[in-house]
Amino acid sequence: EAQVTQNPRYLITVTGKKLTVTCSQNMNHEYMSWYRQDPGLGLRQIYYSMNVEVTDKGDVPEGYKVSRKEKRNFPLILESPSPNQTSLYFCASSPAMGYEQYFGPGTRLTVT
C-alpha cells in the first residue's frame, strides 16, 4: 500500500531533550515536506526537500533540523525542544514540486 508513515504517533517529552520524528514514504517520491498544525493557524511548512541531500527552509524552520540522506526518509529533529513546539506534525511527500502531496497520519508532540 502506498503510504507515508510517521513515528512515533504520540510523544510527550521534556524541555531540552533531543528527539527525532521519523518519516518514510514508499512511493519513490522526490519531494518531501514537514508541517506543523496549530489551532487557528492552519498548517505551516517547516522544511522541505526537493531530492536527496537538497533541503530548504519553509515558513517556520526555527528550532528544527532535517536531513535527507535517502529518498524514502525525511526525519525531523528537535535538538532542544521547547513548549512552543508542542503541536501536531505532518510529513508529506509528492512525486515532484507542484504535485499533490500525500500526508502521513500525524505526530502529536507535547513538550513540558
Partner 1 sequence: AQSVTQLGSHVSVSEGALVLLRCNYSSSVPPYLFWYVQYPNQGLQLLLKYTSAATLVKGINDFEAEFKKSETSFHLTKPSAHMSDAAEYFCAVSDLTGNQFYFGTGTSLTVIP
The interface with partner 1 within residues 69-98 (CB under 8 A) comprises: 90, 92, 97-98
CB of 59 to partner 1, least distance (A): 7
103 CB-near residues (< 8 Å, 6+ apart):
4, 90, 91, 92
Q: Do 34 and 48 form a contact (C-beta atoms < 8 A)?
A: yes
| CB 100 to partner 1: min, Å | 4
Cis preceding-peptide flag for 61 (omega within 30 of 0): no
- Kindly identify the residues of this chain, within the stretch 20-59, that bind partner 1 according to CB under 8 A: 31, 33, 35, 40-45, 48, 50, 56, 58-59
DSSP 3-state assignment of 83? helix
Query: Which residues contact partner 1 (rule: CB under 8 A)?
Result: 4, 31, 33, 35, 40-45, 48, 50, 56, 58-59, 90, 92, 97-98, 100-101, 103-106
